Amino acid sequence: MRSATMLAVSAMLAVGCVDTALRTEVDGYLATYEQEFQGLYYEWSKAEWESNTRIIDGDTTNAARTRAAREAFVRFVGSEENIDAIRSYLEQRTKLPDLQVRRLEKMLYGAGEGPQTIPEIVEARIAAETEQVEQLYGYEFTLRGRPLTPNDIDGLLRSSTDLRERRAVWEASKAVGPTLMDGILALRDLRNQTVQALGYGDFFEYQVSDYGMSTSDMLGLTERLVQQLRPLYRELHTWARYELARRYGAPVPDLIPAHWLPNRWAQDWSALVDVEGFDVDAALADKTPEWIMQQGEAFYRSLGFDALPASFWERSSLYPLPANATFKKNTHASAWHLDLDRDVRSLMSVEPNASWYETVHHELGHVYYFMSYSRPDVPLVLREGANRAYHEAIGSQIGLAASQRRFLANRGLVSADAEIDHIAQLLKEALNHVVFIPWSAGVMTRFERTLYQDSLPGSAFNATWWDLVRRYQGVAPPTPRGDEWADALTKTHINDDAAQYYDYALAEALLFQLHDHVARTILEQDPHDTDYYGSVATGDFLRAMMAPGTSRPWRDVLQETTGRELDAQAMVDYFQPLYDWLVEQNQGRTHTLP
């Protein structure tokens, strides 16, 4: 008779044999899947690139190619065969190593973009999204009958002191909304139906699930960010109301008129403040856009990163189109990882000013993130940020670092001897980063949640939108905006990067946690005045964080890098001196933030 010990050993060996065979089988399936996945993804990415960089009125060639490439990709990742295989393997997850499970889970999530159990719905969604992008980026803004580029709009809202002109420009920026209304209503329904086929309640819930969170979890986290920063934002809002009223010679309003602010969506007010001795625009005025790009690459190389591949410079679209160009392009800055390997590119319209200087450092952060996890240890389907916010956090962290006094002085862009008004500098930074949180974590997140979860009717778009803007941002339109307008839709992300805007809010909180760690632990410098340039230790920290892609849980990565859960405390700490100053400035003033 065999002993109990012998029986146990035999059982363990039997299980081990089964595990080995299963793992080998899954490895074979994953290898075949990822080879096909990469090829189809690359074709789709190249088609999308052409659709964004060469928009010709009346020419449907790019749209047709993009649609066909996307349909081929979606048919594969959402095929019934793949869905069944993935689910079957995941039912045996306890017998598989963690990395295999993570790949399979990511693949099943990806199938939600186009499950072939409902091919007609998927095909209709792809067609609708392609058409919406064409409508969005092919729209020609005008002011008094003359063409107006997005850069023109942004420049006038930053610089004009004529309230009548400001209102006209702001209203011109909203004119595209009604053009996009029918498309977004159709897309909302199609996006919902697509993911409901895999068991999700709605498209917003589906997108949030990529974080391993529920909708209520995400709404709770984003609301905590808003509330942690609410006291500071309340002081900023009060300061801005009185400052803007003084500038325009107008009574102090309870809600800030939207056209008074230097941004189309009131998401960035930093242009309200000029820091003496810190005029980076003036220092860059005689530079070329090419010089701005070269400086961005030089920064990353100083941290120990490789040079950008030659193909980046050959294939990217980095500068504004000439006035006589026969086509248009998407003017929203972005970074692209076309083949999930070495084909990295950027789409920008770089000009020699402080805004684009920061943007270049930001966008190259994405590119170097792509390059960091494009290595054999990270499977193709896991070549993403630790979560979607990580990419934005890295880019924004570098953008912040590249805007600080010590960094700029050491690059010769501000005088090393200049007396910098540190409160003014903090104020300018807060009007960018802090002001962004009520917009991103509040307005955008809740509008898109309502859009998808509650099937918000088009007739309620503007009322819902402006109620959120009032409550979270304390901003109002110049005049009442009726149901015929769709001001929310003028924000590109609602159309072509849907139900993910909380990524940017989480990234803001994350960037300050990462920056605080680099400043205090690695550089041993004041977080308000750092210079990352030449710090290979900082580069090592960033590479160690970026290299795993999404092959490890994002919460683990965050704990290991910063030692804390995701919250806004690092932001609160960073801006504490400014908060104290604002409280003094606002004594005797009325606070009206809802």
Say if 373 falls within a structural domain.
Answer: yes
| 146: helix, strand or coil | strand
User: Euclidean distance between the first and final Cα of the chain, in Å?
Assistant: 80
Whether the per-residue pLDDT at 4 is higher than 60: the answer is no
CATH of the domain at 525: 1.10.1370.30
- Crossing angle for the helix pair 445-453 and 177-196, nearest 10 degrees? 60
Element (H, E) at 335: strand 334-337
- DSSP for 567-587 reads -SHHHHHHTHHHHHHHHHHTT
Q: Which of 94, 111, 139 is the last residue of a domain?
A: 139
Least confident of 272-276, 482-486, 493-497: 272-276
Model confidence at 531, pLDDT cuts 50, 70, 90, reads very high
Indicate whether 567 and 440 sit together in one domain: yes
CA dihedral sign of residues 410, 414, 420, 422:
negative
DSSP state of 305: P
Indicate whether 132 and 223 sit together in one domain: no
Please tell me the predicted confidence (pLDDT) of residue 418. Answer: 76
Distance CA(459)–CA(457), nearest Å, equals 5
Model confidence at 12, pLDDT cuts 50, 70, 90, reads very low
Q: Pull the structure tokens for residue 114.
A: 């186009």
Largest CA distance in the chain: 100
Whether the per-residue pLDDT at 332 is higher than 60: the answer is yes
Indicate whether 433 and 561 sit together in one domain: yes
Q: Pull the structure tokens for residue 56.
A: 């010709």
Indicate whether 352 and 254 sit together in one domain: yes
Mean of the pLDDT values across residues 550-570?
91
Model confidence at 16, pLDDT cuts 50, 70, 90, reads very low
Mean of the pLDDT values across residues 85-89?
97
Task: Return contacts of 410-419, CB within 8 angstroms, 24+ apart.
Answer: 410/531, 410/533, 411/295, 411/533, 412/283, 413/280, 413/283, 413/284, 414/277, 414/278, 414/279, 414/280, 414/283, 415/277, 418/276, 418/277, 418/278, 419/276, 419/277
Q: Which of 91, 124, 139 is the last residue of a domain?
A: 139
Query: How crowded is residue 533: how many other Cβ atoms within 10 Å of its Cβ?
Result: 16
Give me the domain span that covers residue 329.
215-275+288-585
Indicate whether 302 and 436 sit together in one domain: yes
Say if 568 falls within a structural domain.
Answer: yes
Q: Which residues of 144-178 are buried (b: 16+ CB within 10 A; e: fewer)?
A: eeeebebebbbbbbbebeebeebbbbbbbbbbbbe
According to DSSP, the β-strands at 146-148 and 344-347 are unpaired
pLDDT tens-digit map of 186-241: 999 999 999 999 999 999 999 999 999 999 999 999 999 999 999 999 999 999 99
Instruction: Count Cα neighbours of 470 within 13 Å in the Cβ-side half-sphere.
Output: 14
Indicate whether 122 and 255 sit together in one domain: no
Contact 347, 329 (CB under 8 A): yes
Indicate whether 438 and 345 sit together in one domain: yes
Whether the per-residue pLDDT at 310 is higher than 60: the answer is yes
Indicate whether 99 and 224 sit together in one domain: no
Contact 236, 226 (CB under 8 A): no
Whether the per-residue pLDDT at 446 is higher than 60: the answer is yes
CA dihedral sign of residues 580, 584, 587, 593:
negative
Contact 367, 308 (CB under 8 A): yes
Say if 386 falls within a structural domain.
Answer: yes
| 56: helix, strand or coil | coil
Contact 205, 424 (CB under 8 A): no
Please tell me the predicted confidence (pLDDT) of residue 277. Answer: 74
Say if 181 falls within a structural domain.
Answer: no
Please tell me the predicted confidence (pLDDT) of residue 559. Answer: 87
Whether the per-residue pLDDT at 553 is higher than 80: the answer is yes
State how many domains the chain has.
Answer: 2
In the chain, what are the helix, strand and coil shares in percent, each to the nearest 5? 65, 5, 30
pLDDT tens-digit map of 139-176: 999 999 999 999 899 999 999 999 999 999 999 999 99
Indicate whether 411 and 316 sit together in one domain: yes
Please tell me the predicted confidence (pLDDT) of residue 11. Answer: 41
Whether the per-residue pLDDT at 18 is higher than 50: the answer is no
Phi and psi torsions of 351, nearest 5°: -130, 155
Say if 540 falls within a structural domain.
Answer: yes
Average model confidence (pLDDT) for the chain? 93
Indicate whether 106 and 227 sit together in one domain: no
Say if 175 falls within a structural domain.
Answer: no
Q: Nearest-CA neighbor of 574 among 530, 539, 522?
A: 530
According to DSSP, the β-strands at 334-337 and 475-476 are unpaired
Indicate whether 477 and 575 sit together in one domain: yes
Instruction: Return left, alpha or beta for 499; rule: phi > 0 is left, psi -120 to 50 is alpha, else beta.
Output: left
Strands (E), 77-185: 141-143, 146-148
Please tell me the predicted confidence (pLDDT) of residue 416. Answer: 86
Q: Which of 89, 109, 139 is the last residue of a domain?
A: 139
Say if 336 falls within a structural domain.
Answer: yes
Q: Pull the structure tokens for residue 369.
A: 């993130």
Indicate whether 97 and 219 sit together in one domain: no
Say if 159 falls within a structural domain.
Answer: no
Mean of the pLDDT values across residues 476-501?
96
Q: Nearest-CA neighbor of 116 among 83, 158, 68?
A: 83
DSSP state of 476: E
Model confidence at 9, pLDDT cuts 50, 70, 90, reads very low
Query: How crowded is residue 230: how many other Cβ atoms within 10 Å of its Cβ?
Result: 17
Please tell me the predicted confidence (pLDDT) of residue 151. Answer: 85
DSSP state of 455: -
Whether the per-residue pLDDT at 535 is higher than 90: the answer is yes
Model confidence at 1, pLDDT cuts 50, 70, 90, reads very low
Cα–Cα distances in Å, from 475 out to 128, 264, 592? 32, 12, 11
